[in-house]
Structure 1
Amino acid sequence: MNVSGLGVIAVLEACKGVLALLVAVGVHALAGVDLHQEALNVFAYLHLAESNHYVEMSLHSIDKITNSGLTMVTTIALGYALIRFIESYGLWHQMRWTEWFAFLSGAVYLPFEIYEVVNDQNAITIGVLVINLVVVSYMYYVLKSGSGKHAPQESGSRVSHSL
């Protein structure tokens, strides 16, 4: 099987969808759990005292988390996963509208990723920026050159009537 650049990007988008789905399931699993107590258990396992400044800050933040907040995060993660799966399917099948969507949705993140690299240069921020630049550049190339194989558009079929 010959996988094109669009196929590679489709797989990348599907992986992002799977990660978002895992986040949704993980966050949903936290509903109804005593997060404060679970955090205390983790801190005790790590031998961190409750009086530690960072432990206190963490517990204070954890106490602000509500079930409705968890539900909202779960819903957003599920929506994001759905969008990534649809985009992945469309790219895999070389649908023109998903090529535009991949280009625009990738390009919209670039300013934020550049900002992150400027403020916190590390392997992750640089890697994310480089990958997104490659994806956006390739999608620009595909759109500009029309190199994707697209299904022929049907122009209303006309029936010829001979009398």
Structure 2
Amino acid sequence: MRTNGNKKLMRLVAVFEASKGLLVLLAGCGLLAMLHRDVQQVAEELVRFMHLNPASHYPRIFIDAAAHTTHGRLWMLAWLAFAYAMVRLVEGYGLWRERRWAEWFAAVSGGIYVPLEVFELWSHPSWLRAFTLSANLAVVAYMAWSLRRARSPRRNSST
């Protein structure tokens, strides 16, 4: 049985995972909203709105990618976003309901990203990358601790 503090922490992780799913779901809806629009023009407007130099490296890559976007690619990206969002939302639900499978899934799926996040932080250090890695490591560590705790034999509390 979980203590109140452990239950709150598990629910915090559930909200975190579900929030990632909702964010990607919104991004997928945004992709579908681009279907009958000039994607390159929207990208250029977004770059100007963000006060970025459209001739600099990353904004130029973004604008060029938008120029070569097809309806088929938008649909594919939207479906991938929806699939990822559903996985994260189901994981969040499972963690909220304290399901063991969700804890395993959170530990494994979070652990898969760690090597990539370490490489990204090493290659291009930033506070955002450090925060992302730290948050992911905290989730993986908590899930591993929770799973190990659930496996350990319960001590007899009656004396």
TM-score range, shorter-chain basis?
0.7 to 0.9
Give the alignment of 1:110-125 within 5 angstroms: 110-125=114-129
Percent identity for Structure 1 against Structure 2 = 33
Deviation at 1:118, TM superposition (A): 0.2
Match for residue 23 of structure 2?
A: 19
Q: Which runs of 5+ in 2 are unaligned?
A: 152-159
In structure 2, relative to structure 1, the CA distance for the partners of 1:62 and 1:100 (3 Å cut) is same
1:9 matched to which residue of 2?
Answer: 13
CA shift in 2, pair 1:4/1:27, >3 Å: same
Tell me the alpha carbon deviations over residues 13-69 of structure 1, each in whole angstroms, 9 at most, x when there is no partner: 1111110111011111011101233345556775968xx465765543322111111
How many correspondences in the alignment?
A: 144
Q: From the superposition, tell whether residues 143 and 121 of structure 1 become closer, same or farther in structure 2 (CA, over 3 Å).
A: same
The match for 1:156 is none
Compared CA separation, residues 82 and 39, structure 1 to 2 (3 A): closer
Moved more, 37-46 or 122-131: 37-46
The structure in which a higher percent of residues are helix is 2
Q: Following the alignment from structure 2 to structure 1, what is the Cα–Cα distance between the partners of residues 141 and 52?
A: 48
Q: Deviations over 1:123-159 (max 9, x none)?
A: 1100000001110000000011108xxxxxxxxxxxx
What is the rounded CA distance, in whole Å, between the counterparts of 1:141 and 1:7 in structure 2? 15
Amino acid aligned to 1:113? E
In the alignment, structure 1 segments of 5+ residues that lack a partner are 148-163
Q: CA deviation at 1:5?
A: 1.8
The two structures, once aligned, show a CA RMSD in angstroms of 2.3
Q: TM-score when scaled to structure 1? A: 0.78
2:146 to 130, 139, 142: 142
Q: Give the structure 1 partner of residue 81 of structure 2.
A: 77
State the one-letter code of the partner of 2:110.
G
Specify the structure having the higher radius of gyration (Cα).
1
